[in-house]
């Protein structure tokens, strides 16, 4: 079950669920205004009914009864993701959170205190997760390797993305261990279309959905430079990774795993990427 299918990321993920041959629950929790204005949305030919916040508890009971193998996927908004996770936890439903932002510590705490199975990650793209994991391994094994270097980080996303990229924040944390700490406020967020096209090289057809990140390390004397970069167009990479996470979580539930809270690096380490 994908919440919310009215958003571009949620819709892309719902389509990936269908492509993977899984059963898409034809209901989706969304905001009150979307539920009233739209009613339902089509996903790969499947009409998905939109459920307003005041109706979601009754709908949740129906869904749990009809779909015993249920896994929820959340691609909503930073402003509501914490409330959503509290709701999922109260209903003891396994869930995957791809929504960025919100109070991340509280997300984890609420899931843990409820004993829920969950995958909570700032990044769902398979290959980007592998890059993120590689940077963390580098940081753990070679702390301080870039001490004295200056780190400059630029991340470009579609205009609607208000928060700083969770991936950028995670990579910056790894660089901090490598000896180049910077504040979140120092991460340059590019949301202006002309800058994205002219400076970042974002294709115009992907201005509404992209992730172009550059991490530039410069030595104190300016003679040495390392550049780490990933340029992602579209949303398929995230949607497919999210489906992998849902399948991974369903497997953990079936196995009655003692550990219940995971991230995408756990999915990657288990070789659970299709």
Residues forming the active site = 157, 161
| Look-up of token digits 């439903």 | 93
The answer to whether the CB of 272 falls within 8 A of the CB of 250 is no
Tokens, residue 18? 């269908």
Q: What whole-number distance in Å separates Cα of residue 181 and Cα of residue 142?
A: 15
For the CA atoms of the chain, what is the radius of gyration?
19
The answer to whether the CB of 248 falls within 8 A of the CB of 272 is yes
């Amino acid at each position: 079950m994908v919440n919310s299918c009215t958003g571009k990321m949620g819709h892309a993920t719902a389509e990936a669920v269908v492509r993977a041959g899984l059963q898409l629950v034809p209901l989706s929790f969304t905001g009150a205004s979307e539920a009233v204005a739209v009613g339902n949305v089509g996903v790969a030919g499947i009409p998905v009914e939109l459920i307003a916040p005041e109706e979601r508890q009754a709908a949740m009971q129906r869904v749990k009864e009809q779909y015993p193998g249920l896994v929820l996927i959340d691609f909503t908004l930073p402003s509501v993701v914490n409330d959503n996770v509290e709701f999922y936890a109260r209903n003891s439903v396994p869930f995957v959170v791809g929504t960025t932002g919100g109070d991340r510590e509280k997300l984890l705490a609420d899931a843990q205190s409820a004993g829920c199975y969950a995958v909570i990650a700032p990044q769902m793209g398979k290959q980007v997760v592998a890059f993120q994991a590689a940077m963390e391994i580098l940081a753990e094994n070679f702390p301080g390797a870039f001490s004295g270097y200056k780190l400059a980080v630029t991340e470009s996303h579609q205009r609607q993305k208000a928060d700083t990229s969770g991936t950028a924040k995670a990579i910056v944390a790894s660089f901090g261990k490598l000896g180049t700490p910077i504040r979140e406020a120092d991460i340059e967020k590019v949301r202006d279309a002309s800058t994205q096209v002219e400076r970042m090289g974002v294709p115009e057809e992907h201005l509404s959905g992209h992730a172009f990140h550059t991490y530039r390390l410069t030595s104190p004397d300016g003679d040495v430079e390392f550049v780490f970069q990933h340029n992602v167009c579209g949303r398929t990479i995230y949607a497919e990774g999210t489906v992998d996470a849902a399948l991974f979580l369903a497997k953990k539930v079936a196995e009655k795993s003692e550990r219940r809270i995971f991230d995408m690096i756990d999915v990657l380490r288990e070789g659970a990427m299709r």
